[in-house]
Structure 1
Amino acid sequence: MKLYKKICFLLALLISLAATKMKAQNIEQTNQGVKFSAQDLDITIEFYSNNIVRVYKTSKGFSYNKKSLSVVKSPETTSVKFDQKDNLVVLKSTSIKIEINPKTGGITFYDISGKLLLKDKDYGTQFSLLDDAGTPSYTVREGFLLDKEEAIYGVGQIMDNKFNRRNSSHHMQNENMSTYSPYFMSVKGYGVFWDNYSISDFNDNPQELSFEGIGHCSDYYFMYGENADGVISQVRNLTGKAPMLPLWAYGFFQSKERYHTQDESLNVLKKYRELKVPLDVVIQDWRYWPEDKKTDSLWNSQSFDKERFPNPKKWVDEIHKLNAKLLIVTWPGFGPKTEQRKEFDSKKMILNFDTWPPNSGARPYDVFNPEALNIYWHYLNKGIFSYIGNDGWWLDSTEPDHINKKESDYLLPTHLGTYRSVKNAYSMMHNKGIATNQRITDDNKRVVILTRSGFIGQQLYGSNSWSGDVASTWEMLEKQIPAALNYTLMGIPNWNSDIGGFFAGRWKNGGGNQNPEFQELYVRWMQFGVFCPMMRSHGTDLPREIWNFGDRGSWCFDAQEKAINLRYKLLPYIYGTSWDVSHNNGTFMRPLVMDFAADTKTHDMGNEYLFGHSILVSPVTQYKARTWPVYLPKGGDWYNFWTNEYYKGGQTITTDAAVDKVPLYIKAGAIIPFGPEVQFSTEKKWNNLEIRIYPGADGEFFLYEDENDNYNYEKGMYTTIKFKWNNTAKTLTIEDREGHFSGMIKTRKFKIVIADRNQATADLPAKPIKIISYNGKKTFVKL
């Protein structure tokens, strides 16, 4: 007992001495971090978890209570060890070690083994006084040091055809086709989110990486995940998980600018059904509301023109009877004669600058005011959602569009400060208001939002961002791929683009839809769209419905139909991937560096990717290309999807790229379920699925099912069936079904097909090797 007391006394003395030493260096130890002052800055470092650290800096003596728009996580109880090393203070969790220089303010991040990850520079943070429209503020700059050859990703959706963001500079101002967040992810397995919503600048050069923007603090989160999946998991942990979208949201969408009447869009749907080409969603673009053609003063009134949409409730009911869904557009700006605008004006909730359309007097509302979000929903719900029962929203112009720009516009007040100080979060807040209010109004229908901009945190609101009003060119198709991959590496999983490109006027005088080059561009873009989270045809200048390109039997019609049918056959795989995205913080569009970081050739490769964990996609982006180079990354072996030919990884091959085939390679060890041929996503149950196995490595896949379009899955009402392939034993194990939900399939058949890597065929074998009856109990299949 005496020895025990002596040990306790010595430990207490050591702790007291350490605390005294820290205090002498003006370091205050907190429960999960430290506070100190250096270089005229007050700095707080706090562990939010073992893998997330918040670094918060203000000008010395300036107290500012930052309330994040993106971060939803509160600090969790984390055991932090405090130590000192020479003149440095050392903090450790189970995953991260931090060394702090209390004199210079330098902060260095390591993994727990001591591997250097990132340096927050000595003397690297700057606060410069700024008069922000009469409010004292700062231009804030945060600088970091990276390894010379370190690849980084994220920053935003940038149309420059580059993937690795090293040695680049970007003015981060969210606009049509340009979507930014002050975030980067490193190939070393960490990410940084600088929590700032202002119009900002990102710059990386050999001397440093920096963010610079407007604010009262420098506030960033360092997230360590070991690899890209781990970083994305931490981003979602910090800023919100991505909810499940309904099954129908993974079907094919048809849209145009615009369907003028309710009968026009209904007839489009009817013709798809007559042709037996699958379709799940039609979208209604602008000006369904009463029109004032001279002034557009009724812009976005969220009501229906009585002549062109005489019975909108019946219109939507007819769409539903044809087993399809409706998305309808709504904008953030309102014409001066709308009821919404009058109320927003009376409550000083309008941003007084010109938005789309030009010369209309339309103005955007203040999304940063919580009351304004509720008012917006009140009109949207009354005029549309509860009135007609639409299934989702197209939120256009969510940057928002800014017509006749003046510098003074950026100094206009919002509920949270000047417009320039919060602009980049506009889309996220607009999405938030609609998503949260819809769930309050009707929690039995999953929120589906198509939106033109984004910001980290927006994934929480059922949003799918599209790339904006891109031009209908081969160059722009090529740029979509790395732009999408960097966007999804920010932790926002849902992305798509206008199939064929939005502006197609360049093709009008050359035959329009019958122009062979435009037809091929459209087909190649559609093949890319098959392997995006949303597959959506849209554009202006030329109609995009399949029959406008020719009749069945013509190459262009048949190639489109082949692509659409492939999308529907893959729905069990896609929906299982959607569950992985929601449940496990997974990613749909996976740049090769995510799964093959050890292969340095993948670090700069943004022109191909994995869709889910198993399907390598290499979209064709050149006219008349009939062969295509595909890099098969080292660390896996690969099957040509169309022929079953087997290849070792770590090589570039030239593959057949016939006009009706997108180059696809399946990773050895993959298990891919294929669904039935259908005209819409829920036409047939998945009680007779084909299970394709690609030998060469062990693998697994979870078949996920639920009630398709409600939030009961959040209450545990879903099932998973785990398929596990043992390559050495050549056995497939189908595990016990886990979970339950109303209407689930209790008995079913699985047709087991195994890819023959020694025999190239025109397609996978038509006849299954085995047909298995499955009633939810564990089953072994020897192949």
Structure 2
Amino acid sequence: MRLAISAFAAFVLLLAAAASAQTGNNNSFQLKTGSGSDTKLLKVEFINDYIVHVSASPGDQFSFRKSLIIDESVKPSGNFKTEDKGDYILMTSSALKVRIDKSTERISFYDRDGHIILQEPENVCRTFADTNIMGENAYRILQTFLASPGEAFYGFGAHQNGIMNYRGEDVDLWQYNIVDIIPFMVSSKNYGILWDNYSRTKFGDYRDYISLNKTFELFTKEGNSGGLTAEYFEDENFQKLLIKRPEERIEHEYIDKNDPFPDGFEKVKSVRWEGFLKSNKEGLHKLRLYCSGYTKMWVGDSLVVDSWRQNWLPWTHIIKLDLKKGERKKIKIEWIHSGGYIGLKALPPSGENYDGIISLHSEVADQIDYYFVYGNNLDEVIKGYRYLTGKAPVMPKWAMGFWQCRERYKTQDELLEVVREYRKRKIPIDNIVQDWFYWKEDDWGNHDFDPSRFPDPEGMIKELHDSLNAHIMISVWPKFYVGTAHFEEFKKNGWLYMRNVDVGEKDWVGPGYVSTFYDPYSEGARKLYWKQIENKLFSKGIDAWWLDATEPDIHSNLSPEETLRRMGPTALGTPARYRNTYSLLNSKAVYEGQRLSNPDKRVFILTRSAFAGQQKYSAATWSGDVAARWYDFKVQIPAGLNFSLSGIPYWTTDIGGFAVEPRYENPSGKDLEEWRELNTRWFQFGAFCPLFRSHGQFPYREIFNISPEGHPAYESMVYYDKLRYRLMPYIYSLAGMVTFEDYTIMRALILDFPDDKNVFNISDQYMFGPAFLVNPVTDFKARSRKVYLPAGADWYDFYTGKKYTGGKSIAADAPYERIPLFVKAGSIIPIGPGIQYTGQKQADTLTLFVYAGGDASFVLYEDEGTNYNYEKGLYSTIEFKYDETDKELVIGERKGEFPGMLSERIINIVFINSDSPRPFEFNIKPDRVVNYNGKEVKIKL
């Protein structure tokens, strides 16, 4: 039997399955069910004491497909016990108990003391529905669990929706320019679910949005039935009416799948839709507004959307309406377009309580595969994720410094002059980024510099390295113009997606050129991709790789159906099955290629998409081409926090926002001041992200191009840049913790304060490492902001040293030049000397800021910074410990060594407590000075 899953009501059906056969050993149990269930085979296997793999198949055998995300080193290990209890099987490890009910196949997870952690519903908990997609027979799969009261959910990658806690929300796991997909969810109950599926997946309500008139009865603004009033204007002020008519749908979302605009639309500058919605159902209705250009939407008298998006990258807004049956709700949309896209669709009430369940639905599968990951805290859960999918290598030390980028440096002189200017002004910088189009206009994919603009790329890179002490990252796409040499190399091996070529779709460059992407699912294609990069770029001295458009974004603004057609077929199967993993395989190509080519040089990759396991390829992700708007800035914070909770530790954003609305292109007056303040506030946030990178379209994003010296914007950005470099001993130690302890640098508050339920939904504050509470300012002209100081600790104002009690909210000062920044009582922060780049010198003078109020410890990690000798054990650590009772600081004995390590250094100690509220200063006078030679030192404070 194959249950249809078009309606969630299938979950209330009782299973009639009976166990007909069972097999097992100490670490796994396999159940072959009777004919009454969708599930024919069920396997539960302990990977280790904290991780359980569950597989459910609708067929007579399990799939033989190899997982793309589980690391090859993962093998079941540990001491487990499997017992037949008659009606159920009980599997036990030192940390978990797993119960499998034979008659219903229900799986329940308990801690070692028998407390329930997670369980499937008592009735139908998983379904399989036959489907044929892109010519492949497969299954649509649905798995559910019961949510506990008060439980919060996080993860799933980075989504631009401003949501922190996904309890009761919907998440669409579909790669998109500004969306990064990681199918890993973590819970406030200290477990995670790693969903091993690569097709489009939905958490929550999995139904597709439908046309407006299929959900509501529509009325004009005058109250007549038949549609909303649509008014088309010749001006942007909604004054010069050109066309007026009723419309039952607003669906202008894609190039290939679009309702026509009315005749004469070429003269239209703005459109207004206005009227009333009425539903014949009571309950929660959802509206999905998808738009580019300037868009405002009112429901009733409330403004619910105020958006600007670049024409080629629309985005969605979800509006929830709790309606009574027959109730009319007023709606108005105003759209100032630039030839772009807009659509409004809806969902009627589902009849299900999605707040009470965990629901995962995938479009293409052979079977259900998920990993239940448990821990004593969420750090341990993330550690379990990396155990399964691979550890994150230590990033090169220079990557933790400041990067400058713009779209784009047009010549090598432009690029070099920027770095020279930073050095001249003594503003620290480590990396300059060459964005796209350094090649000849018609030569995309050959990786050759245009000699008219970059006459001596080797000389340019040599000057960056030898004279300017900077690194260079370069943009490399998986894209190739038809007829280029590299295109032909891939084509002859059948390693290109040809539909885009066959339909003759041109891109946006010059007159437009036909292109396509290569297929990284082929091992041979991955090797060729690296070989081409190595020959043309790595051989010249390029340090790092910016892998752009890795969704893959072969062409923007196509419907999801056509997007899939352009991406395939892949070497492993249909694009529908593998859509979300392109970035993973593309990163694998570059990481493995460089490690073979130069085993001693650390790989660094920045890529626009993500998937589970990508961290093991030294790949960081940025949040895509977000808009330079206050709203878009604000939603970066929960996006980065959920991304980090998803297990991948390195994330960043375009400081200032990538795409610029017209009023900022050549701003003056009020617009100029807002532009400067937006960039300043974003920069302040960026200084406390795992990676620190300024980038965007014109206006130029260099600090000195945003504002002149002496302006608050300039002074603030320089301050936080210098602070980042002073914090380098702290930050680089966090990078060591990422690799050796599976640590997370950018930390949602639930990681460190899980017992304080006030933090569960906080989306605009976070910890940066164990010490700093970061509170970005995301509102224009705000000079104070509400800050919640989590319970369980006291807090020091970083700038004044004033101490506050935790567990309460305060109105914190936020002058233009500063964001509220607090340090947790019981912290040790190592501060280094002022440097202009990370490799300038080691921290021969180290200042320890010791914040009293609790026991504290911190481990300083050091290595050579650019090679993989740390994998051979060549690194050192020094542990600092402070005992609050004895007021004693212990500087531990240095452990380990590496070439070039400092044998001696000066360690200054600054002691801060409530009786001595000292502000942070770069050159603060220390309380004690220690000449440290690697031996343990004890100091009474």
1:372 and 2:525 aligned = yes
The Cα offsets for residues 68-110 of structure 1, whole Å up to 9 and x where unpaired, read as 1110042232222122445111100111101101221210011
1:349 and 2:503 aligned = no
The Cα offsets for residues 188-247 of structure 1, whole Å up to 9 and x where unpaired, read as 110001100112222161352221111111110001112110100000001000100111
Decide whether aligned partners of structure 1 residues 756 and 30 sit closer, same or farther in structure 2, where only a CA change above 3 A counts: closer
Could you say which residue in structure 1 is the equivalent of 2:794? 637
1:433 and 2:589 aligned = yes
Could you say which residue in structure 1 is the equivalent of 2:75? 75
CA RMSD after TM alignment: 1.7
Q: Judge conservation of contact 1:110–1:118 (CA < 8 Å) in 2.
A: yes
Q: Judge conservation of contact 2:26–2:82 (CA < 8 Å) in 1.
A: no
Q: Which residue of the other structure, out of 591, 597, 600, is the alignment partner of 2:748?
A: 591
Cα separation, 2, equivalents of 1:551 and 1:182: 45
1:447 and 2:442 aligned = no
Cα separation, 1, equivalents of 2:765 and 2:91: 40
3-state DSSP of counterpart to 2:125: strand
Q: Judge conservation of contact 2:912–2:918 (CA < 8 Å) in 1.
A: no
Cα separation, 2, equivalents of 1:668 and 1:482: 25
3-state DSSP of counterpart to 2:588: helix
Decide whether aligned partners of structure 1 residues 616 and 409 sit closer, same or farther in structure 2, where only a CA change above 3 A counts: closer
| More divergent stretch after superposition (592-601 vs 510-519) | 510-519
Cα separation, 2, equivalents of 1:66 and 1:650: 50
Give the CA deviation at 1:509: 4.7
Could you say which residue in structure 1 is the equivalent of 2:49? 50
Could you say which residue in structure 1 is the equivalent of 2:836? 679
Amino acid at match of 1:392: A
Give the CA deviation at 1:120: 2.7
Decide whether aligned partners of structure 1 residues 353 and 771 sit closer, same or farther in structure 2, where only a CA change above 3 A counts: farther
Could you say which residue in structure 2 is the equivalent of 1:499? 655
The Cα offsets for residues 455-507 of structure 1, whole Å up to 9 and x where unpaired, read as 11001011110000001111111100011000110110000000000012331
Cα separation, 2, equivalents of 1:677 and 1:454: 35
Cα separation, 1, equivalents of 2:637 and 2:51: 30
1:307 and 2:307 aligned = no
Cα separation, 1, equivalents of 2:708 and 2:758: 43
3-state DSSP of counterpart to 2:637: helix
Cα separation, 1, equivalents of 2:872 and 2:544: 22
In the TM superposition, what are the counterparts of 1:196-275 in structure 2 within 5 Å?
A: 196-203=197-204, 205-213=354-362, 214-275=364-425
Give the CA deviation at 1:364: 1.0
Give the CA deviation at 1:127: 1.3
Amino acid at match of 2:433: I
The Cα offsets for residues 501-550 of structure 1, whole Å up to 9 and x where unpaired, read as 00123312532998111101101000000100111010002101111133
Cα separation, 2, equivalents of 1:332 and 1:353: 15
TM-score, with structure 1 as normaliser: 0.94
Amino acid at match of 2:357: E
| More divergent stretch after superposition (517-526 vs 166-175) | 166-175
Q: Judge conservation of contact 1:326–1:391 (CA < 8 Å) in 2.
A: yes
1:515 and 2:672 aligned = yes
Decide whether aligned partners of structure 1 residues 230 and 715 sit closer, same or farther in structure 2, where only a CA change above 3 A counts: same
Give the CA deviation at 1:408: 4.8
Cα separation, 2, equivalents of 1:576 and 1:513: 42
Decide whether aligned partners of structure 1 residues 271 and 512 sit closer, same or farther in structure 2, where only a CA change above 3 A counts: farther
Q: Judge conservation of contact 1:64–1:217 (CA < 8 Å) in 2.
A: yes
Cα separation, 1, equivalents of 2:726 and 2:46: 45
3-state DSSP of counterpart to 1:604: coil
Q: Judge conservation of contact 2:191–2:381 (CA < 8 Å) in 1.
A: yes
In the TM superposition, what are the counterparts of 1:305-454 in structure 2 within 5 Å?
A: 305-321=450-466, 322-354=468-500, 357-358=507-508, 359-386=512-539, 388-403=540-555, 405=558, 407-411=561-565, 412-454=568-610
Decide whether aligned partners of structure 1 residues 667 and 207 sit closer, same or farther in structure 2, where only a CA change above 3 A counts: closer
Q: Which residues of structure 2 form unaligned runs of 5+?
A: 1-17, 206-353
Q: Judge conservation of contact 2:133–2:576 (CA < 8 Å) in 1.
A: no
Q: Which residue of the other structure, out of 705, 717, 720, is the alignment partner of 2:862?
A: 705
Give the CA deviation at 1:326: 0.2
Cα separation, 2, equivalents of 1:626 and 1:43: 58
Cα separation, 2, equivalents of 1:766 and 1:711: 36
The Cα offsets for residues 346-380 of structure 1, whole Å up to 9 and x where unpaired, read as 22211234488344211111111111100101100
Cα separation, 1, equivalents of 2:670 and 2:538: 35
Could you say which residue in structure 1 is the equivalent of 2:91? 91
Could you say which residue in structure 2 is the equivalent of 1:627? 784
Q: Judge conservation of contact 1:25–1:102 (CA < 8 Å) in 2.
A: no
Could you say which residue in structure 2 is the equivalent of 1:769? 927
TM-score, with structure 2 as normaliser: 0.79
Could you say which residue in structure 2 is the equivalent of 1:525? 682
Q: Judge conservation of contact 1:505–1:541 (CA < 8 Å) in 2.
A: no
More helix by share: 1
Q: Judge conservation of contact 2:431–2:472 (CA < 8 Å) in 1.
A: yes
3-state DSSP of counterpart to 2:834: coil
Could you say which residue in structure 2 is the equivalent of 1:716? 873
3-state DSSP of counterpart to 1:367: coil
| More divergent stretch after superposition (200-209 vs 427-436) | 200-209
Amino acid at match of 1:596: F
Give the CA deviation at 1:25: 5.3
Q: Which residues of structure 1 form unaligned runs of 5+?
A: 1-22, 293-297
Identity of aligned residues (%): 39
Cα separation, 2, equivalents of 1:514 and 1:153: 36
Cα separation, 2, equivalents of 1:746 and 1:598: 43
The Cα offsets for residues 250-275 of structure 1, whole Å up to 9 and x where unpaired, read as 11100000101111101110111111
Could you say which residue in structure 2 is the equivalent of 1:168? 169
Cα separation, 2, equivalents of 1:667 and 1:276: 31
Q: How many residues are matched?
A: 755
